[in-house]
Every structure is written in C-alpha cells, then in structure tokens.
C-alpha cells in the first residue's frame, strides 16, 4: 500500500513534533511533509521555488495563525484553484473563535478542529483525524 501523503502547515515546533508523533503511531502508513508558513504552503502545493519535486498531498492539516499568509488566505487559495480544490483541508488550530470557524467553512474547509491543550488529548485528536480521513472517508484519486 502506498503511503498517504499529508501536508502539515504549522509554525509551532511543539505542535509539529506532537502531530508527527501521533501520525507515526497511527495504523496508516503516511509521509508527513511540513511547511512552516502560508507562503511555503502555496509554494509546496504549486511545486514552485524549491518545491518542484513536492508530492501532491492526500490531506492538508492547516493552522489558522501562520506567518506571511494566514491559514484563511491559504485555504481560500487552495479552494479557488482547480488543481488543488479537491484536496481535503482540515483546519487544526488553537483558535476557537466563532469568526475563524465561520470564515473557514465559508472558504470550504472540510472540517475545523480546535487543538486540545492536553498532550494526550492532542495525540488522540490527531489520531482521530487520521482514522477518519484516511481509513473511513473515500478520497478522490489524484493524477500525480
């Protein structure tokens, strides 16, 4: 079975480490690619400027609060791009702001999850994302 390609767009090093650990402990073989700001995320997805050999992810985990381009801007660009819009985007963020949630769904986020503060809860949440989006949901096939 081919590994599932996951793009993690996160600027917090601790959350990057915890997310990667939770995904490593999961039952699904995956490759996690990390970019630390919204600008890098778009370069990765468009395969530009140092990311020419990047893979097209099967799933994107996107933080709202990012430098250069915030998560809302990245989400809007993804969902308005005919080549990227079918990739599921999970907003995984510390923000529980009603306006962030509304804006995310308005920009066609596939789901919005507030990161739990407790480490065990965080690990369980990330594992749940993987279980749902990779084991249960039928994802569209990709051409590359």
> What CATH number does the domain containing 109 carry?
3.40.50.2300
106 within a domain of the structure (yes/no): yes
109 within a domain of the structure (yes/no): yes
What integer pLDDT is reported at residue 63 of this predicted model?
96
141 within a domain of the structure (yes/no): no
What integer pLDDT is reported at residue 142 of this predicted model?
66
The range of the structural domain enclosing residue 94 comes to 72-127
69-83 pLDDT, tens digit each: 999 999 999 999 999
How many domains are contained in the chain? 1
∠ Cα 32 37 39 (to 5°) = 110
85: pLDDT strictly greater than 70: yes
144 within a domain of the structure (yes/no): no
99: pLDDT strictly greater than 90: yes
45 within a domain of the structure (yes/no): no
41 within a domain of the structure (yes/no): no
């Amino acid at each position: 079975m081919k590994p599932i390609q996951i793009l993690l767009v996160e600027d917090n090093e601790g959350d990057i480490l915890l997310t990667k650990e939770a995904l490593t402990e999961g039952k699904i073989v995956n490759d996690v690619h990390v970019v630390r700001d919204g600008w890098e995320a778009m370069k990765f997805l468009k395969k530009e400027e140092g990311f020419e050999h990047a893979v097209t992810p099967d799933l994107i985990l996107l933080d709202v609060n990012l430098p250069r381009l915030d998560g809302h801007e990245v989400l809007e660009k993804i969902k308005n791009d005919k080549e990227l819009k079918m990739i599921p985007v999970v907003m995984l963020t510390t923000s529980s702001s009603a306006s962030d949630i509304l804006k995310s769904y308005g920009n066609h986020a596939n789901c919005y999850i507030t990161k739990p503060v407790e480490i065990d809860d965080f690990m369980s949440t990330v594992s749940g994302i993987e279980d749902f989006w990779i084991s249960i949901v039928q994802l569209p096939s990709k051409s590359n």
